[in-house]
Structure formats: structure tokens, C-alpha cells
Structure 1
Amino acid sequence: MQKIESHFKPRSGYGMLAFVLLIFIGAIAGLAVTQQGEFGLLFILFFLLLPGFFVIQPNRSRVMIFFGEYRGSVKENGFYWVNPFYVKKKVSLRAHNFDSERVKVNDKLGNPIMISVILVWQVEDTFKAVFDVNDYEHFVRVQSDAAVRKLANTFAYDNFEDDSEITLRSGMEEVNHDLEEELTERLAIAGIKVIEARIGYLAYAEEIASAMLQRQQATAIVAARFKIVEGAVGMVESALEELNSKSIVDLDEEKKASMVSNLMVVLCSDKSATPVVNAGTLNH
């Protein structure tokens, strides 16, 4: 059996339609004039020829099979007629949009996550779509589920220790690229072309979502505090240099330490500082 798609050129249906209508009119006229039963055979011929007509709409196709043998595929839109004994399987060439169900899988670190994929695909090879798989639409659904499970096991949902590592949450462009390549390889057996593939939904599973949210919040707080302390040190250093260069006040090491301590408390506190006014001298 042929293993690749081939082009089938059917006969135009308009000329054959005129011929079939002549047979029908001749059968009626013959019976009406002669009243002989032989003209009834023309009715049988008329109904035998009718199944040969078919229409191809834009971005549709028909796979032609004659007694179990593949004869080719018709992709040009129009009105045609072929041997009535041909089996004409319909195959859509239009783009399909598939939004998979959210599935629970484990990421690279073993954390349970919920993930789904959005896939845009279309049939590119009608022969493979009809003969190499049992049901190409079901095949797309099953392989998409398998691909997204493999993807989730390849990457971690998030990595709090190493910002340079690609994760499902932070490396969407790289992850979607890998997903598209994986689906392209899997669906090629069914003659399916992957137009676009990307993650549609991504979240921690319900049982660990609360704990992971607290971890993310803690990481964000620590990072923010680090920046605040870093900025506060720079401000204190600048203040001491300005005081020293302009000789505004002469501070010994003990008073510098006290000043640094007070400034750090004011600058790093998450609440507004309450000042205490010293009405005496600096020594009291």
C-alpha cells in the first residue's frame, strides 16, 4: 500500500450532472410514452450514479478509497463526480484549537502541580491522518496529555535557590518551545502540523498551594529586606562622609556607632520611627 499522500483528480460534476438528469428525464418520458418496463432500468442507473457526486469546501478534503485501496486525496474545492463505488472519507484541513483538561502531575522536584496545554493544529497529510492512526482527533488529545506530563517532569515549577535555572513559571518562552517540539515529534505520525503550543494553566496543586505561597512571600520579603539594608548602608556611609568632609560635627567612634545604629533602625524599620527629642546636650 502507498505510504505517502498523493493527489487525486476527479471529474467535474457539472457535465456528469447534465448526463444524469438526461437519464432521469429519458426514463420518465420512456415510461410515459411507451409504458414499457425496460425504461425502469434507467431509474436504477440514475440512483446508482447519484452517490458519485460530492462537494469540496475550502479547507476540506476527501480521501478516495476504492475497494480498500487508497487512490489519492482531493483538496481543491469544487463540485465533482467519481465512480460511485469510491469511499470518500472527509478530512478537515482547517486549524483546530484544543484546550486540554487540567491534569495533576509532579514537577521535576516532585511537587504536585496543575497544568494544561493550549494547542493549535491542523491536518497536513491526509493519508497518515486516515490510515496511520485509528482516530487522529483522539490521537491529538492523548499525545497532548502525554507531552504535558513529560514537560512537567522535566522542569521544576519554581526554583527559589537558583534564579538562572529554567522553570515552568519563569521560563515560559523556553518551556513553550520545548512543548511545541515535543508535540511536533509526537503528532508527525498522524500527519498533524503543530501551529502553536503553549501552557494554558499552571499552578500548584491545592494541597500545597498555601504552603508554597507562604514560601514565595517569605522569599520576596527576604529579597526586599536585603535591598533595603543595602540601600540603608549606602545612605549611612554617605551621611558620615558628608559630616566629616564639611566638618559639621566632630564625632568620636562611640557617637558614630550610636548614629549608625539609629539611622539603620529608622531606614530599615517597616514602621514609621517615633523620634525622641533631646533637650539637653549630646552628652545627656
Structure 2
Amino acid sequence: MSTETGVPLRRRSNSLNGHHTNDVAFDGTVSSMESIVKKTDDGYANVVGKASFMTWTARDAIYVARVHWIPCVFAVGVLFFMGVEYTLQMIPARSEPFDVGFVATRSLNRVLANSPDLNTVLAALNTVFVAMQTTYIVWTWLMEGRPRATISACFMFTCRGILGYSTQLPLPQEFLGSGVDFPVGNVSFFLFYSGHVAGSMIASLDMRRMQRLRLAMLFDILNVLQSIRLLGTRGHYTIDLAVGVGAGILFDSLAGKYEEMMSKRHNLLGNGFSLISKDSLVN
């Protein structure tokens, strides 16, 4: 087995390494078209002979399907959604956007629309959860000297503002606002992507790094509940929530790379004020 491409497959001995070419010598003395064509054909043969797919066998295919079934499932998904994309009739320009999350939460939307007090209570609880996220993220920097989560949140909210302004999605007609919801006061807000979800992910990922697993699980559960509520109130589209999860992971990773880059580029530990403490570099 060889793992040089990242996916273990059986390789023939001459598949990638040690494969010698037999190009026809061309020193300028041969001028016939037959020699040029032969050299070209041999070159194609060498390229094809070196190609990875030339070494694949049925046994390799079975191995990949059995061991690497997750990317195989996604590969099937690529083919399936290619068919969907080429055959799906798009929503007319003057229609409301279609959102599968809105379809799944129609009953919740009706309940909240008929019970303004319940909508207010849930909005207040969600705002408390946002305050919990914010407090934790700022606490890790100010009290624990670990700025990664705070840097990540700064990256995330700035990019969210840029994207939200660049493509402004229409507020759903069934939107159920509340004066105690975040942003407080029923003010306008960017839909893409969800800062609620991304902020929760940033906090949860930091908790996992610090082995605060029960607290991280609690945040994940609350994140799911707030996502359902946001769909029910039409406060976000499904795509906003899904990208919010990815944004939290992405910007947490970028903040970690930023810390590593700055620690290598500058000796911050002994040069005046530093965002990064010794403990944060260890973790």
C-alpha cells in the first residue's frame, strides 16, 4: 500500500516512481515527419503510463469504498445534486425565497405568531444566550489571557458585516420580531451569515480546547435550539445557520494561525504589551 496521494491504494511498482521513459532521441539530424510523430506518440504513452488511474484495480475500488466511505458518500452527493441543479425550476424573481428550514418549522412559526408573549420569552432567552457567548469570549482574553476566541470573533463579525452588506437578502415576510431579541430593539440586521451560530461555535471550540466538555456540550445544545427558534421566527434562512457553523470553525482556525504567525514573527512575550500570553501559546 502507498499513501503518497493521501488515500491508500495498491500501486504497481512502476506507477509513480522508478518509471523510465523511452523518448526517441531528437538531435536535429532527423527531419522526417514519421520521427516527429513517433516521438509525440511515445510522449503521450509515457504520460498515460504514469497516470494514477492506470494502476487502479477492482480491489482498490473495493478498499476505498469500504475504508473511505465518507468521501464516497459525498461523491455520490456531487452527482446527485448535479442532476438536481440542472433540472430544478428556480423560484420566480418576485417570489419569496424557498427555504427548507422554513418548511420544517411552519407549525412553530404559527405558534409564535399566535402567541406574542411566548415569542418574547424565547427571544429574551436567546438574548441571554448571546450574552453568555460574549461574556465567555471576552473572559478568555481579559481574565485568562487567551485571546484566540476574541480574535476569532473580531474576524468573524467583520467578515459577516462585509458579506451581509455586499449581498443584502430580503427579510422574510413571516418574520416575527421582538423588542428583546438580539440585536435588541427590532433594529435592522444582516441575514448572511448567522452571528448567533458562529459566535456559539467559537465559544464551544475554545471550551473543547480547554477540556470544558460539559460546558461545550451545553453550548452546542443551546446553539441547536436557537437555530430552530431563528428558523421559526424567520430571523435567519437555513443557509445563514449552516454557514454560521462553518464560519465559527474557519475563523477559530484562522485566529489560531494568526497567533502562531505573530509568535514566530515577533518575540511578543517580552516586548511590552502583548495580546498573547505564555499560557495561550502553550494551549
With the shorter chain as reference, the TM-score category is under 0.3
Q: Greater strand share, 1 or 2?
A: 1
Q: TM-score, normalised by structure 1?
A: 0.26
Q: Greater helix share, 1 or 2?
A: 2
> 1 or 2 for the larger relative contact order (CA 8 Å, sep ≥6)?
2
